[in-house]
């Protein structure tokens, strides 16, 4: 099989015309990532604040008001007074409040008598993601309240000095934006090729292309190159947004990041191509692209849900997702400034995945040629 550059270029040129002729696709594939990154870069915040708290104060003394005030002043909670314990529970039931504080009638009496003054806290367990931060706030509020209300200030046993490396202020955006870029580009690049090529199968123009002397590998290369350039351009735009709008540091090397991005994009583009070769119909191709692209990229790539915490099977299963590997390259390039030696595993896997996708696409193409 001879690989002729001219033929690849000719096919690529046709594909470029195709993209340029359809400004909607062109605009969308550049604008969508930028839009998504800006909107969700601002929206996603993991530091839980302003939790609505229903307070039922049955004591209504100076001390109980001090306690409520401690909650309100912490910035973590917004205090709302309710008239009965039942209405406190009711407001959690109807999602108006996330937590409830119930102060019994003997709170001040117990406190002054030197007994343990107990209050009840009810948390809404239907949203796990807020329970853990609320529990940690409660521990610190309990300490503050003890100091304020009862002069309780025991000597510290442990002084844990924590240094957060690479993201000293725990800025959610530094974490979210480099990951968001990966997720949106994964979805977009699968769709770009899955659809255009499936369309050609439906039109019959792919059959025509196969009857020309062009080899399957040439056809595939010709189809991949223009979309790789297009999606790489989208990555560049998103990078600019991350610098200008979010001021996220980029500590790594552009070469490593660019090479990783190219491999990652090629893998997904080839995956889209493979889907279209396999299904040969747009609507099945779309469903498959959605299934293998959208949800896994959002949920299994390590974007938010940590891969390390998954059951063993999934820690291996997610290895077939290119997004997982570029997620590592992207985050480490931005924040850690890792070099290619640190990142050899993601690179090696991406190369293998990319080669596999192209190999299967070419092979499937070939078998389709035979009657």
Partner 1 sequence: MISISLFRGFFRKEFIQALRDPRMKFILFVAPLVQLFLFGVAISTDVKNVRLWVRPEAKDYVLQHVYEHCIASKWFLPKTNNRDRDPFDLLSGGKIDAALVSPPGGLTKSVGRGTGDLQLLVDATNVIQAQSVVLYIKNIANRVIIQDLNLQPPDNPIDFSIRVLFNPTLQTSYFMVPGVMCLLMCVVAVVLTNIAITREKERGTLEMLISAPISSTDVILGKTIPYVVIAMLNVPLILAAAIFLFGVPMRGSLLVLVLASLAFVCTSVAIGTLISTFAKNQQQSMLGSILFLFPAIMFSGLIFPLENMPTVMKWASFLDPLSHFLMLLRNIMLKGGEPYFVALHIGILVLMAVFFTYVSFKRFRTTLQ
Residues 189-208 within binding reach of partner 1 (CB under 8 A): 191, 195-196, 199
Query: Least CB distance from residue 182 to partner 1, whole Å?
Result: 13
Q: Is 148 helix (H, G, I), strand (E, B) or coil?
A: helix
Given a contact cutoff of 8 angstroms between Cβ atoms, the answer to whether 232 and 261 are in contact is yes
Contacts of 274 (CB under 8 A, 6+ apart): 357, 360, 361, 364
CB nearer to partner 1: pick between 8 and 321: 321
Q: Is 98 one of the binding residues for partner 1 (CB under 8 A)?
A: yes
Total residues interacting with partner 1, rule: CB under 8 A: 120
Q: Is 228 buried (19+), middle (13-18) or exposed (0-12) by CB count in 10 A?
A: buried
CB nearer to partner 1: pick between 9 and 131: 131
Q: Is 136 one of the binding residues for partner 1 (CB under 8 A)?
A: yes
Contacts of 105 (CB under 8 A, 6+ apart): 58, 59
Can you tell me which of 245, 259, 294, 356 binds partner 1, judged by CB under 8 A? Answer: 294
C-beta atoms surrounding 205 within 10 Å: 12
What CA–CA distance (Å, rounded) separates 90 from 85? 9
Query: Least CB distance from residue 95 to partner 1, whole Å?
Result: 6
What CA–CA distance (Å, rounded) separates 310 from 361? 31
CB nearer to partner 1: pick between 119 and 259: 119
Given a contact cutoff of 8 angstroms between Cβ atoms, the answer to whether 286 and 194 are in contact is yes
Residues 327-356 within binding reach of partner 1 (CB under 8 A): 328, 331-332, 335-338, 342-343
Can you tell me which of 8, 67, 228, 274 binds partner 1, judged by CB under 8 A? Answer: 67
Q: Is 368 one of the binding residues for partner 1 (CB under 8 A)?
A: no
Tokens of 264: 């990652």
Q: Is 310 one of the binding residues for partner 1 (CB under 8 A)?
A: yes
Can you tell me which of 58, 60, 87, 118 binds partner 1, judged by CB under 8 A? Answer: 118
Given a contact cutoff of 8 angstroms between Cβ atoms, the answer to whether 328 and 361 are in contact is no
Residues 42-61 within binding reach of partner 1 (CB under 8 A): 42-51
Query: Least CB distance from residue 300 to partner 1, whole Å?
Result: 6
Query: Least CB distance from residue 5 to partner 1, whole Å?
Result: 28
Choose the binding region for partner 1 from 6-14, 53-61, 110-118, 234-242 (rule: CB under 8 A): 110-118
Q: Is 187 one of the binding residues for partner 1 (CB under 8 A)?
A: yes
Query: Least CB distance from residue 223 to partner 1, whole Å?
Result: 14
Burial profile 313-343: b = 16 or more Cβ within 10 angstroms, e = fewer? eeeeebeebbbbbbbbbbbbbbbeebeeeeb
Q: Is 56 helix (H, G, I), strand (E, B) or coil?
A: strand
Tokens of 65: 């008001």
Query: Least CB distance from residue 104 to partner 1, whole Å?
Result: 10
Q: Is 300 one of the binding residues for partner 1 (CB under 8 A)?
A: yes
């Amino acid at each position: 099989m001879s690989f002729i550059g001219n033929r690849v270029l000719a096919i690529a040129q046709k594909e470029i015309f195709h993209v340029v002729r359809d400004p909607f696709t062109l605009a969308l594939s550049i604008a969508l990532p930028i839009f998504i990154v800006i909107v969700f870069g601002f929206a996603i915040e993991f530091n839980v604040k302003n939790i609505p708290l229903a307070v039922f104060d049955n004591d209504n003394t100076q001390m109980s008001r001090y306690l409520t005030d401690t909650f309100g002043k912490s910035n973590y909670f917004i205090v709302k007074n309710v008239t009965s314990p039942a209405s406190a529970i009711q407001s959690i039931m109807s999602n108006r409040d996330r937590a409830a504080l119930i102060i019994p009638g003997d709170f001040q009496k117990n406190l002054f008598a030197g007994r343990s003054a107990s209050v009840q806290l009810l948390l809404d367990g239907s949203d796990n993601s807020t329970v853990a931060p609320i529990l940690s706030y409660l521990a610190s509020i309990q300490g503050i309240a003890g100091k304020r209300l009862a002069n309780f200030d025991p000597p510290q046993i442990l002084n844990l000095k924590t240094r957060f490396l690479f993201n000293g202020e725990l800025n959610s955006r530094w974490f979210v934006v480099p990951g968001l870029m990966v997720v949106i580009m994964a979805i977009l690049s699968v769709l770009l090729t899955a659809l255009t090529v499936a369309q050609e199968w439906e039109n019959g123009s792919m059959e025509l292309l196969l009857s020309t002397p062009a080899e399957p590998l040439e056809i595939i290369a010709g189809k991949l190159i223009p979309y790789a350039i297009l999606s790489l351009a989208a990555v560049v735009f998103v990078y600019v947004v991350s610098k200008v709008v979010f001021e996220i540091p980029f500590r790594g090397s552009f070469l490593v990041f660019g090479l990783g991005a190219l491999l990652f994009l090629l893998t997904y583009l080839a995956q889209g191509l493979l889907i279209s070769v396999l299904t040969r119909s747009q609507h099945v191709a779309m469903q498959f692209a959605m299934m293998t692209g959208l949800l896994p990229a959002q949920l299994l790539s390590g974007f938010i849900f940590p891969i390390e915490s998954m059951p063993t099977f999934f820690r291996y299963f997610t290895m077939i997702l290119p997004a997982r590997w570029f997620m590592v390259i992207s985050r480490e390039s931005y924040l850690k400034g890792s070099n290619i030696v640190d990142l050899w595993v993601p690179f090696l896997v991406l190369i293998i995945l990319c080669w596999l996708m192209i190999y299967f696409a070419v092979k499937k193409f070939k078998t389709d040629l035979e009657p």
